[in-house]
């Protein structure tokens, strides 16, 4: 375990499909408005097609966006793609309260994904030089984080049954010719919501925590 907060759970919100920019704004508002007593939350959702550029992203890696919108955001990392069929898990976690550094949260997110994939019979690995999760050299999950005042947001995107063609329009995560893959091509039939919830459970284990389901209608912002 990378860190434990006694009695502190992770509130899992299942949000369905949400527009990227409004969700990003809601993450920032949540992070700015939270207090020492605010529970950590995981937001599980899908986005309509969008390319996002991290703070230090070089636009040369955005090769041919076409009709897919591009949003410059405040997370780390380069360019990536989000779209339907991808499980996006945003981690709104108070690192300072949990006694974690950014690297520890990255390791926990990657490790949780590797753990969940192993439970599906898929051998996955990480790369120290290129954050994310890989299966036989092809990227199946990307991640990027932002930390403000010791509190993290953004998170992880796992390819479940998403259309992978838009990745051909970019250098994924800044790597020319980097192959990408998805669960559907690896013989795993599941939904983005089920896959994301599975990774969320593994993440809770790695953080020495537990998942607290929401009651009633989920919301963000």
84-123 tens-digit pLDDT: 999 999 999 999 999 999 999 999 999 999 999 999 999 9
Of the pLDDT bands very low, low, confident and very high (cuts 50, 70, 90), residue 214 is confident
**Per-residue confidence (pLDDT) for residue 2, from 0 to 100:** 36
**Per-residue confidence (pLDDT) for residue 220, from 0 to 100:** 59
- 81 in a known ligand binding site: yes
**Per-residue confidence (pLDDT) for residue 1, from 0 to 100:** 30
- In this structure, is residue 4 part of a structural domain? no
Of the pLDDT bands very low, low, confident and very high (cuts 50, 70, 90), residue 5 is very low
- 142 in a known ligand binding site: yes
- 79 in a known ligand binding site: yes
- 155 in a known ligand binding site: yes
Mean pLDDT of 31-50: 97
- 16 in a known ligand binding site: no
- In this structure, is residue 3 part of a structural domain? no
- In this structure, is residue 216 part of a structural domain? no
Residue from 124, 173, 195, 197 carrying the catalytic annotation: 173
- In this structure, is residue 17 part of a structural domain? yes
Cα 60 to Cα 36, 93, 174: the distances in Å are 41, 32, 9
- In this structure, is residue 136 part of a structural domain? yes
**Average model confidence (pLDDT) for the chain?**
92
How do residues 143-188 score in pLDDT, each as one tens digit?
999 999 999 999 999 999 999 999 999 988 888 889 999 999 999 9
- The whole-model pTM stands at 0.92
- In this structure, is residue 175 part of a structural domain? yes
Q: Could you tell me which residue, 7 or 33, shows the higher pLDDT?
A: 33
How do residues 44-80 score in pLDDT, each as one tens digit?
999 999 999 988 888 888 999 999 999 999 998 889 9
In CATH, what number is assigned to the domain containing residue 175? 3.30.930.10
Mean pLDDT of 26-49: 97
- In this structure, is residue 215 part of a structural domain? no
DSSP string covering the chain: -----TT--EEEEEEEE--HHHHHHHHHHHHHH--TTPPEEEEEEE-SSEEEE-TT--GGGB---TTS-EEE-SSSSSEEEE-TTEEEEEEEEEHHHHT--HHHHHHHHHHHHHHHHHHTT---EE-TTS-SEEETTEEEEEEEEEEETTEEEEEEEEESS---GGGGGB-GGG-TT--B--GGGGT----HHHHHHHHHHHHHHHTT--EEE--SS----
What does the block give as tokens for 9?
């759970």
- In this structure, is residue 77 part of a structural domain? yes
Q: Say how many domains are in the chain.
A: 1
Q: Quick check: is 173 catalytic?
A: yes
Percent of the chain at pLDDT exceeding 70: 93
**Per-residue confidence (pLDDT) for residue 58, from 0 to 100:** 84
Q: Which domain holds residue 20?
A: 10-209
**Per-residue confidence (pLDDT) for residue 216, from 0 to 100:** 41
**Per-residue confidence (pLDDT) for residue 13, from 0 to 100:** 96
């Amino acid at each position: 375990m990378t860190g434990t907060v006694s009695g502190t759970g992770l509130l899992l919100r299942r949000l369905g499909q949400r527009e990227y920019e409004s969700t990003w704004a809601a993450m920032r508002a949540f992070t700015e408005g939270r207090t020492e007593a605010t529970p950590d939350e995981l937001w599980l959702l899908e986005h309509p097609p969008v390319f996002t550029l991290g703070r230090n992203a070089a636009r040369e890696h955005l090769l041919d966006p076409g009709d897919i919108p591009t949003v410059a955001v405040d997370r780390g990392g380069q360019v990536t793609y989000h779209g339907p069929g991808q499980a996006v898990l945003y981690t709104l976690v108070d690192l300072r309260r949990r006694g974690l550094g950014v690297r520890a949260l990255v390791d926990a997110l990657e490790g949780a994904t590797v753990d969940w994939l192993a439970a599906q019979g898929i051998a996955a690995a990480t790369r120290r030089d290129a954050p994310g999760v890989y299966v036989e050299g092809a990227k199946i999950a990307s991640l990027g984080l932002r930390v403000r005042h010791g509190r993290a947001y953004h998170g992880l995107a796992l390819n479940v049954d998403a259309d992978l063609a838009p990745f051909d329009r970019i250098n994924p995560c800044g790597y020319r010719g980097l192959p990408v893959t998805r669960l559907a091509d690896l013989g795993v039939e599941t939904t983005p919501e089920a896959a994301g919830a599975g990774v969320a459970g593994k993440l809770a284990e790695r953080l020495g925590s537990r998942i607290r389901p929401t009651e009633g209608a989920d919301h963000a912002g």
